[in-house]
Structure 1
């Protein structure tokens, strides 16, 4: 089995250009030239950008995404790639939100948060009915320490769709806020709602249920929930640590 790769379909052909992710070019324009020449979908632009970011090649990550917001790209793809364009703006917003959260210099922090907000506004201009920008706005508000604003953004996201599909992310975010504020019953209700809506929800949902039961003093139910996490993900660190602590305290 070779290294992970991303395949770019060759236009008007059944062939592909395979790009190993451990051999990404330092100059992202080399990739962009291929993507443009082969009229590759914007989703591939995103995948390459994320691959660069995973290797801490931030300049290349930003270059590809900024190129994906250019007038040339918008004119070419038009309405065929609305969701992908929203994803690109939200990916940029997420990056600047994280940058602002970690930044200690007040001016640089403010600059990063302003860039995040601007990208989210651009995403919402493409469609007011997509969930992703609202989730991003909630995360930005959390990073800025505005819990009430974050809760409002996540509540607004609840009835929206993610590219036409249901998504329990707003419930998970609202549950996490409720838990942090000590509203354990509300958090438990929201985590349960997320699991009911999506039984294949990420492990953090069952971890949240377990943590709520533990805080409520329901040790048996908490243990069952943590063990269920391990049934689905035997290497889940949080569940392993929680069960170890419970065993020590028993």
Structure 2
């Protein structure tokens, strides 16, 4: 008990120093606060498990004391949304490691780089009719995105660059600027400038990235009436995406997630089947289908899909959470030893 007390005191002092150090960088301060919140959640879950053990509701060494079902379901949702958003955003940002060469100035797509000397990330904007580039450090993004959009307009920057800037604002928690950029980039006036096939594909990515924000809001909103507002906005964006490509897998998975948030699982299932018929290895569709089975308590079918996802995408950023969900299904099926082994590996 004394060791725990000392650890808590040291951790509190460390967080205090970190907060003071990052005070001048709002982005990093926000990241620190979010990390602290995650630690508090973990601590509360730990105390809950201890309470269950002390009251006899769970065995001290049982799986239920290590993996609460509700926590796993929440992890499942986070994993699913994360995989879908990654599939929407993944092709818009190219990460270059420090031991790789700098990209050519003639790149027609935006590039996000890490400066190994300062550990700072930046976006590169090609200068119109020139081999030069404009480098924008992400930790120096202005509060008003109009300042950056003036540069994008002046250089007639590719829509992929617009999308990368919007996503960076979203990752920093400034969703209002994220929406302003996407709104400006998809206006009819912009279509007169960006009217080739590459621009059409970029606009489709924009609509899907934008709609993913509203679907996230729906999943996090318990009030059915309040959920209807982001649902209407999502539907409007889906309609615009359908005018470009009605069979885009990301759009179809997004619609499935929207219907799942509304509790309309049968409609969601139809969209997911269409995606998997065209591409049986589509990770967001596989995970969404597995979540549907979990909601129906069809753990055998869900376990099979999670196993398939692990085999097809072993290096996915969501791999650890996929294994946790696989373990949860094993536990629900009575395969406790197997669930324990998978949880240790996860």
Q: Which region of structure 1 is more displaced relative to structure 2, 180-189 or 198-207?
A: 198-207
Q: Which region of structure 1 is more displaced relative to structure 2, 64-73 or 93-102?
A: 93-102
1:117 to 204, 228, 235: 235
Map 1:194-233 to 2 at 5 A.
194-201=309-316, 202-203=318-319, 204-229=321-346
Gaps of 5+ in 1: 230-250
- Partner SS state of residue 124, structure 2: strand
Contact 1:130/1:160, CA 8 A, preserved across alignment: no
Shift in CA distance, 194/100, structure 1 to aligned 2, threshold 3 Å: closer
Of structures 1 and 2, the one scoring higher in RCO (CA 8 A, sep 6+) is 2
If you compute each CA radius of gyration, which structure gives the higher value, 1 or 2?
2
CA distance in 1, matches of 2:278, 2:204: 14
1:154 to 272, 279, 283: 272
1:191 aligns with 2:306: yes
Q: Which region of structure 1 is more displaced relative to structure 2, 27-36 or 171-180?
A: 27-36
1:92 aligns with 2:92: no
* CA offset digits 1:99-129 (Å, max 9, x no partner): 3444566655323211101101211220123
Aligned to 1:127: 245
CA distance in 2, matches of 1:100, 1:171: 21
**TM-score normalised by structure 1 residue count:** 0.80
Q: Which region of structure 1 is more displaced relative to structure 2, 99-108 or 204-213?
A: 99-108
CA distance in 1, matches of 2:207, 2:250: 10
* CA offset digits 1:43-73 (Å, max 9, x no partner): 2212211221233322211110111211232
Deviation at 1:170, TM superposition (A): 0.3
* CA offset digits 1:121-177 (Å, max 9, x no partner): 21122012310111110111122121222222222222346xxx9532101111012
Aligned to 1:19: 136
1:40 to 153, 157, 164: 157
Shift in CA distance, 185/105, structure 1 to aligned 2, threshold 3 Å: closer
Contact 2:218/2:258, CA 8 A, preserved across alignment: no
CA distance in 2, matches of 1:30, 1:95: 23
Contact 1:129/1:160, CA 8 A, preserved across alignment: no
Contact 1:49/1:62, CA 8 A, preserved across alignment: yes
Aligned to 1:5: 122
Q: Which region of structure 1 is more displaced relative to structure 2, 23-32 or 36-45?
A: 36-45
Q: Following TM superposition, where does structure 1 have runs of at least 4 consecutive aligned residues deviating by more than 6 angstroms?
A: none
1:30 aligns with 2:134: no
Gaps of 5+ in 2: 1-117
Aligned to 2:258: 140
Shift in CA distance, 166/43, structure 1 to aligned 2, threshold 3 Å: farther
CA distance in 2, matches of 1:138, 1:68: 26
CA distance in 2, matches of 1:197, 1:105: 37
Contact 1:142/1:150, CA 8 A, preserved across alignment: yes
**How many residues in Structure 1 have an aligned counterpart in Structure 2?**
226
Q: Which region of structure 1 is more displaced relative to structure 2, 137-146 or 200-209?
A: 200-209
